[in-house]
């Protein structure tokens, strides 16, 4: 049996990479990691949160932007993640290249919706990368466990609060939100 070696690329090559498909890739230590297509429920939750955050940003008159899926976040010199939802300042958005939309600075908030088979990445690896990057708040929407975890950065580490059912989420980024775990987890398309 022959094993083919994976050819590593640079971060600059990642930024300009285009394989001619709609595939999305994270960049992990010189390798392209194909992101699986999201399930319909995953997409519904992401869309719900995007609209919710957009309305909150407008209501509060904040100079922020909500983006989904294709906005990368550089977490380490050799890594770029593709969170499901990113909340950033308009200044951060303007600093991004149109060809390779990757944030080089920490966004205000990131949301990851757990997909089948990626919980270790979202709960463990991304958590440590996002904390090291200085991302103030990280939400993990776990469809399978029926909970929303809100991780808030305190002295370089995340404090975690879990919300289920009718629990109202508490956010340090969106301090006035009125949103429950079930509104997110039971979203209808």
Among residues 52, 19, 24, which one has the least CA distance to residue 37?
Answer: 24
Among residues 97, 82, 75, which one has the least CA distance to residue 24?
Answer: 82
CATH of the domain at 73: 3.90.1570.10
Would 95 be classed as within a structural domain? yes
Q: What is the pLDDT along the chain (189 residues), one digit of tens a residue?
A: 555 556 898 888 888 888 888 888 889 999 998 888 888 999 999 999 999 999 999 999 999 999 987 788 988 888 889 999 999 999 998 887 666 688 889 999 999 999 876 666 667 788 999 999 999 999 999 999 999 999 999 999 999 999 999 999 999 999 999 999 999 999 875
pLDDT of residue 96: 78
Instruction: Write down the H helix ranges in 85-162.
Output: 90-95, 119-120, 126-133
Predicted model pTM: 0.90
pLDDT of residue 166: 97
- The CB density around residue 174, as the number of other CB atoms within 10 Å, is 21
Among left, alpha and beta (phi > 0; psi -120 to 50; other), residue 156 is left
Asked whether 45 and 143 are in contact (CB, 8 A), the reply is yes
pLDDT of residue 16: 85
Would 54 be classed as within a structural domain? yes
Among residues 135, 142, 133, which one has the least CA distance to residue 173?
Answer: 135
Would 18 be classed as within a structural domain? no
Would 115 be classed as within a structural domain? yes
Would 12 be classed as within a structural domain? no
Among residues 177, 186, 138, which one has the least CA distance to residue 52?
Answer: 177
Would 31 be classed as within a structural domain? no
Would 22 be classed as within a structural domain? no
Host domain of residue 95:
37-185
What's the number of domains the chain is made of? Answer: 1
Would 132 be classed as within a structural domain? yes
């Amino acid at each position: 049996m022959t094993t083919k070696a994976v050819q590593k690329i640079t971060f600059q090559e990642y930024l300009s990479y285009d394989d001619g498909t709609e595939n999305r890739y994270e960049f992990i230590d010189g390798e392209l990691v194909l992101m699986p297509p999201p399930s319909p429920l995953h997409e519904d939750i992401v869309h719900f949160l995007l609209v919710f955050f957009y309305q909150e940003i407008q209501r509060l008159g904040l100079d922020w932007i909500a983006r989904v899926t294709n906005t990368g976040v550089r977490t380490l010199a050799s890594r770029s993640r593709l969170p499901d939802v990113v909340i950033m300042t308009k200044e951060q958005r303007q600093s991004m290249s149109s060809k390779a939309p990757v944030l080089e600075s920490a966004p205000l908030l990131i949301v990851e919706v757990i997909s089948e088979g990626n919980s270790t990445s979202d709960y463990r690896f991304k958590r440590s990368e996002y904390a090291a990057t200085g991302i103030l708040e990280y939400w993990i929407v776990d469809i399978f466990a029926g909970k929303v975890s809100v991780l808030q950065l305190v002295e370089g580490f995340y404090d975690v609060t879990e919300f289920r059912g009718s629990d109202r989420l508490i956010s340090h980024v969106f301090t006035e939100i009125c949103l429950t775990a079930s509104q997110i987890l039971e979203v209808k398309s």
